[in-house]
Structure 1
Amino acid sequence: MFETARYEASRRLRGTAALAGGIAVLVAFFVWYFSVLDVEGLTQAMESLPPAMLEAFGIETIATIEGFLAAEVYNFVWVLGLGLYFAYAAGGLIAGDVEHDRMDLLVSFPVSRSWLLIEKFSALLVPIIAVNIVVAAVVYGGAAAIGESIDLAHLVLVHALSIPYLLTCAAIGTVFSVIFDRADVAKRAAIGLVFALFLIKSVTANAEGYEWIQNVSPMNYYEPTPILIDGTYQLADVGVLLVVFTVLLIGSQVVFQRRDI
């Protein structure tokens, strides 16, 4: 038991290191850039932007390092970038093995298809957890290095609460992975849907009468800005993401069990 999970996790170690290292370097640059930034001038420019644009892109303030990182890093690199990445990665979980004729061998092992799917999906926890730990450490240490301080509890929260969101994005990719036989098709469909959901959240942020449409977007239930700045969040939002993640993963199991390989 868990042999598949261990094997899949080991295959992701190199990619995880590259992902965590790349984002850590990018985040370190943004932390340094804040130390040389003309905060006053940028704040004045920000105040001239339409409120709808500020809300759509999760910009509350850039006068503090928390607000700056929330706007520049967490609302784009985390919400959009990592959301797309894990949807894309999950899109190849099953479809990749089916396309390359490896699935026949895997399903011949004494393990159910449902459990096989769970083990392959669980390997995604390696990059999800690793990138959160590495980047959180870089943000906290980098802020201290430039003479700034970030509330550690808020930083831990913004990373911990991103895990249900990233799992939901990965579950979206998994659904497409069990539907399509070609990994490229599943991956493209997954990132297309996640990006469309991001646009729905952004475009309808201040669309009077259409705010309800945001409820279909997982981005509506994970907002890094208030978490990082004030430490405010809604447990109900976390619950929604966990429920959606569970439903999508169970749905993927049902489809995978019934499909002909």
Structure 2
Amino acid sequence: MTAVASASASGPTLPVLRRQILDGWRGVAGWSTGIAGVILIYLPLFPSMQSPELAGMIDSLPPELVRTLGYESITTGAGYAQSTFFGLLGFALITIAGISWGAAPTAGAEESGQLELTLAHDVGRVRYCLESAAALVVKLITVGAAGYVVVWLVNDPAGLELNAANLLAVSLAWVGLGLLAGTAAFAVGAATGRRTLAIGAGAAWAVVGYILQAVANNSEDLDWLRTLSPIEWAYGNAPLATGFDWAGLALLWGGSAVLIALATLALALGRAPRRLRRATQDQLGRRRTSDPCA
């Protein structure tokens, strides 16, 4: 009886995670549908790309441009899927989704006042942060799984000749890119309480990573810059063609874990939500202004 009462008093298991998953299922469905649409538009075009004319056109392009666009192996199924989806549109979509979902539970919740209400219901800061991060991971893995399934369904009809294990390897790297961008926004949101700064941090991560990769592809002297690019961590060893790159996956997923830990620390050290502190400061400022003797 005591155990039952204790369990009842403790409330539902993982309330923050469950609430964010339930509230966000429409967004997950929308992003999954959009990604499926992009795959169904581009990957079935592969047979028409296997022509001498296309190969000749690519050969006529500057080698630096070909490397920047990732077109070195576009005439193969793995190279085509990598250059058109995983390295381009798929990368952009999962990065945007990750940043949006990462900024919402920290900076977004604080600016809207939702964070104060949640913490007032016996939810500790550390618990809130960890369950919110878990919700981010679950959402991105769900989208990644949807992308995997659709690519695999298109594989045989489009003649891509992809390997199931290699497709899993590149899907984990792809989701890892979105997660790293999302946790960057998550951490900056926890530290600053500003949604614009959180979104900016995630976007800056993606842009800087792409620029580092492009510069490294175009300069032998600066080739070392690719080691700093998360895009290189994800796709540098062509996982769709060669299989799992465990070192790259460790950097992507391990880096995300570090950012989650930093976000948890930043939120845990805050004595009160920044929005509440700012409101209190504004109120004190108005009192001083209205009371010249203060």
Determine if contact 1:52/1:205 at 8 Å carries over to the other structure. yes
State how far apart, in whole Å, the 1-side matches of 2:114 and 2:214 are: 40
Determine if contact 1:16/1:130 at 8 Å carries over to the other structure. yes
Describe the SS at the equivalent of 1:205: helix
Closer, same or farther in 2 for the Cα pair 1:146/1:215, shift >3 Å?
closer
Residue 203 of structure 1: how far off its partner (Å): 2.0
Aligned to 1:210: 222
State how far apart, in whole Å, the 1-side matches of 2:201 and 2:134 are: 21
Residue 91 of structure 1: how far off its partner (Å): 1.7
Determine if contact 2:46/2:159 at 8 Å carries over to the other structure. no
Describe the SS at the equivalent of 2:220: coil
Amino acid corresponding to residue 252 of structure 1 in structure 2: A
Q: Sequence identity of aligned pairs in percent? A: 20
Describe the SS at the equivalent of 2:105: coil
Q: Which residues in structure 2 correspond to 1:230-241 (within 5 Å)?
A: 230-231=242-243, 233-241=244-252
Q: Which residues in structure 2 correspond to 1:235-254 (within 5 Å)?
A: 235-254=246-265
Determine if contact 1:89/1:187 at 8 Å carries over to the other structure. no
Aligned to 2:79: 67
Describe the SS at the equivalent of 1:162: helix
State how far apart, in whole Å, the 1-side matches of 2:65 and 2:52 are: 19
Alignment size in residue pairs: 260
Instruction: Tell me which stretches of 4 or more aligned residues in structure 1 moved more than 4 Å.
Output: none
Residue 149 of structure 1: how far off its partner (Å): 2.8
State how far apart, in whole Å, the 2-side matches of 1:224 and 1:75 are: 11
Q: Which residues in structure 2 correspond to 1:1-261 (within 5 Å)?
A: 1-37=13-49, 39-223=51-235, 226-231=238-243, 233-259=244-270, 260-261=272-273
State how far apart, in whole Å, the 2-side matches of 1:222 and 1:148 are: 21
Amino acid corresponding to residue 184 of structure 1 in structure 2: T
Higher relative contact order (CA 8 A, sep 6+): 1
Long gaps (5+) in structure 2: 1-12, 274-294
Determine if contact 1:27/1:138 at 8 Å carries over to the other structure. yes
State how far apart, in whole Å, the 1-side matches of 2:73 and 2:130 are: 41
Give the TM-score normalised by the residue count of structure 1.
Answer: 0.90
What does the per-residue CA deviation read over 1:3-59, in whole Å, with 9 as the maximum and x for residues that have no partner? 110110111111111111111111111122223335321121112222222323333
What does the per-residue CA deviation read over 1:73-111, in whole Å, with 9 as the maximum and x for residues that have no partner? 110123333123312321222111111112112122333
Amino acid corresponding to residue 227 of structure 2 in structure 1: N
Residue 255 of structure 1: how far off its partner (Å): 1.2
State how far apart, in whole Å, the 2-side matches of 1:172 and 1:82 are: 14
Long gaps (5+) in structure 1: none
More helix by share: 2
